[in-house]
């Protein structure tokens, strides 16, 4: 029978199957003794002490950064990324995301200047490029009180970026109320043509439906609906005289009461705002060039807009917004309109010159070889400055949604 090995200190050998690798077993009580924690895991007391020291340092560090103001910035960002619901409660709103392109755009569209066509394009582009198209259910209130301005600016500024807000509204100064001034864009057209389009649109609508004008102006009397345009102008009806004809400039002048008074003050203020706050003011008569420049300036919003606009299906839908039953006034009536709208024309030609200058910088040629002659105002009488009647055209956009769902 094989005799059991005896340990020098007495008793059975703790390693009956042989000494561990690395040499003979140490004596009992030695600090180098290996303690078998688990059958498959063994480490020395030195390793155990190192682990305990590391744990102590971690606990002390955790205590220190909590006492000194909370978790580090990296952990806060990680919590936000992982969607921790208590982030906003504990640390307030996160800083706004800085995008590498204009992320706040406002199109305070002028009525009867191609805005329906542009809005239809924007609906398509917003789904294609993923920006937030913000519209308004209010279509006939362009002049706002101070509180209404503050409320609207607050609602616009809190929209998810990048956004493009569009509504018929006179220029809003965001910085006056402590907001970030957005990038403005707009389109205007020849003032007399705009007036005629609006005059007949209110009475007879467009090709979208034979009865839409009845829905738009249900209270209009028959004699007013069929009022001859020449009689309206020559007899100086309110709809065909100032201040109702002073329409385009207030969209660029702003919300100041003097912006609604035809005169040099409103004209110069409108020009100043065009230079300082508008990225682009285009001319409807050159809409394709307007869209091309918008694609150059704001590609994240308007990339591919020209190809969409030229698509036959879109052209078919766009033609439905053409006003019907338009007639041309007599030369005498047109000349009177020119005189009554001389500030509007001064602004229109100023914007047109700026637009053509911008086109030349980008190598685009104007289709008109020489600019048309400006109207000669032969009646230098002062313009009326009564408060305008609040009768803006309504802009029912439901038809756009119906068309887009087809």
Active site residues: 168
Partnered with residue 400 across adjacent β-strands are none
The Cα–Cα gap between 201 and 271 comes to 29
SS3 171: coil
Per 3-state DSSP, the chain is made up of helix, strand and coil in percentages (nearest 5) of 50, 10, 45
SS3 41: strand
The closest of 122, 157, 159, 180 to 301, measured between CA atoms, is 122
The Cα–Cα gap between 392 and 154 comes to 24
Partnered with residue 287 across adjacent β-strands are none
Tokens representing 191 are 């003032």
CA dihedral 317, 319, 324, 330 (to 10 degrees): 160
Alpha helices (H) in 254-365, listed in sequence order: 264-277, 287-297, 299-302, 305-310, 312-318, 331-340, 342-361
- Cis before 243? omega within 30: yes
Question: Phi, psi at residue 165, to the nearest 5°?
Answer: -100, 135
Q: Measure Cα distances from 229 to 178, 243, 326, 343 in Å.
A: 46, 17, 10, 22
Residue 301: other Cβ atoms inside 10 A: 25
H/E stretch holding 107:
strand 104-107
The Cα–Cα gap between 97 and 82 comes to 17
Q: Measure Cα distances from 261 to 247, 276, 380 in Å.
A: 10, 22, 17
Q: Which residue, chain included where needed, has tokens 């400006």?
A: 374
- Cis before 345? omega within 30: no
The closest of 176, 160, 150 to 104, measured between CA atoms, is 160
The Cα–Cα gap between 305 and 297 comes to 12
């Amino acid at each position: 029978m094989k005799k059991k090995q005896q340990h020098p200190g007495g008793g059975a050998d703790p390693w009956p199957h042989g000494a561990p690798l690395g040499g003979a077993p140490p004596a009992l009580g030695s600090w180098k003794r290996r303690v078998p924690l688990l059958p498959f895991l063994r480490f020395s007391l030195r390793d155990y002490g190192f682990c305990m020291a590391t744990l102590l340092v971690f606990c002390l560090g955790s205590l220190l950064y909590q006492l000194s103001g909370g978790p580090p910035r990296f952990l806060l960002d990680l919590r936000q990324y992982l969607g921790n619901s208590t982030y906003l409660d504990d640390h307030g709103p996160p800083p706004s995301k800085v995008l590498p392109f204009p992320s706040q755009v406002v199109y305070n569209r002028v009525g009867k200047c191609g805005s329906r066509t542009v809005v239809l394009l924007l609906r398509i582009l917003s789904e294609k490029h993923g920006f937030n198209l913000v519209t308004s259910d209010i279509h006939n209130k362009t002049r706002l009180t101070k509180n209404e301005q503050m409320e609207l600016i607050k609602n616009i500024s809190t929209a998810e970026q990048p956004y493009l807000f569009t509504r018929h509204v006179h220029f809003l100064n965001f910085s006056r109320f402590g907001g970030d001034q957005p990038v403005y864009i707009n389109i205007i057209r020849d003032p007399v043509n705009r007036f005629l389009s609006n005059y007949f649109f209110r009475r007879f609508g467009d090709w979208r439906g034979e009865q839409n004008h009845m829905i738009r102006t249900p209270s209009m009397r028959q004699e007013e609906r069929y009022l001859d345009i020449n009689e309206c102008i020559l007899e100086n009806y309110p709809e065909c005289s100032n201040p109702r004809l002073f329409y385009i400039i207030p969209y660029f002048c702003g919300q100041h009461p003097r912006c609604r008074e035809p005169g040099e003050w409103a004209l110069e203020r409108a020009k100043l705002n065009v230079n300082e706050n508008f990225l682009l003011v285009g001319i409807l008569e050159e809409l394709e060039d307007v869209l091309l420049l918008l694609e150059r300036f704001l590609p994240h919003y308007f990339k591919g807009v020209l190809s969409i606009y030229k698509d036959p299906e879109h052209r078919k839908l766009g033609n439905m917004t053409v006003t019907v039953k338009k007639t041309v006034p007599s030369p005498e009536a047109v000349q009177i309109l020119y005189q009554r709208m001389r500030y509007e024309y001064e602004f229109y030609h100023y914007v047109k010159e700026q637009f053509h200058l911008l086109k030349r910088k980008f190598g685009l040629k104007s289709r008109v070889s020489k600019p048309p002659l400006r109207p000669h105002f032969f009646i230098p009488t002062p313009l009326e400055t009564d408060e305008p009647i609040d009768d803006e055209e309504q802009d029912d956009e439901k038809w756009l949604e119906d068309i887009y769902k087809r």
